[in-house]
Each structure stands twice: as C-alpha cells, then as structure tokens.
Amino acid sequence: MGKLAVKFGKLLYYTIAMRLPASYSGIRVGQKAFRAFCGRLILKHCGKNVNIEKGASFSAKASLGDYSGIGVNARINGDCTIGDYVMMGTDVVVITRNHCYERTDIPMMHQGFAEERPVVIGNDVWIGDRVIILPGVHIGDGSIIAAGAVVTRDVPPYAIVGGVPAKVIKNRKDREE
C-alpha cells in the first residue's frame, strides 16, 4: 500500500473504527470487518479473517497473520510480526525500542532512543491480558504467555511462561505420566 492509503486507513481507524464496540459486545455494526479493512490499509501485512479489537493501536510497520487478533486496548509499537492463529488478550503492550540511559551526565530524556529491535510472535500463540513484550523478543510457535507477564527474553516453542520477568513454567509437549 502507498503512503496515501496508510494515511487514509489511519484517519478511518483512529477517528471511527477503534471506537466501535468490541467484537464480543453483542452489538453488531460491522466493526470487525471495518477494523480489518483499516488494518489492511495500515499494516505492512494483514492476513485473512483477522480481528483488531476496540481501542487497539498499532504501527504501520507491524504485520498480522491469518486468523490472528490484536486485543482490546493493545498497543503494538514499531516493527512487530504477529504470526497466524495468534490470540491476544486486553491491554497487551509490545515495545520495540527503549530510551538510552548509558550516560549519567545527561538526563535520560535527552539521550534519545536505542535502535529499534523487532519483535516476532510465532504461530498459534496465546498472549494473556496485560502482557508486556520488550524489544527484540522472539516468541516461539505454540507458546502461551500468562496474564501479566513481562517478557524480556526469547520464548521457546510450546513453552508456557509467566511472571516478572517471564520464566518457563512448563512445556506444552511434555506429557505428565
């Protein structure tokens, strides 16, 4: 899509679509289709049958795979690739860059930002409510991120992680005997 399409998509999304009821509200006014239409205009890639929820904000550098969703009030900053069949809870935050803080002789607010580090979320991932994912993290296929977790490092495939900072609790492929 061209820059004009992205600007038009943002205009439609941020003035109308993001304020429409959540998809599960019981009120049907075409909000899911309208937000998906805006997503196709704005996102770097937008798959089929996606669900962008009420209040979500996202970067034009983000990609959303087939049958995936961006949760209510989620915030996807910068370059983030979301795979296929990803479920995302409310208030999820994906951060792709941080402030610089190395120097102590200059206030941190004047040191600028570190280089952007893309976040990659694999296929068939479930991200719980209020999860925070920090720059450069890769989340493996089939993983579950527990509600409230702060993900500071890569998550292996099929891992269940939780806590602050998030740690592996269990692997979905391990079978209890």
Catalytic residue annotation: 99
> Which residues pair with residue 121 across a beta bridge?
82, 139
End-to-end CA distance of the chain: give it in Å, rounded: 52
Q: What's the rounded Cα separation, in Å, for the pair 95 and 76? A: 7
Residues contacting residue 56 through CB under 8 Å, at least 6 positions apart:
18, 70, 71, 72, 73, 74, 75, 76
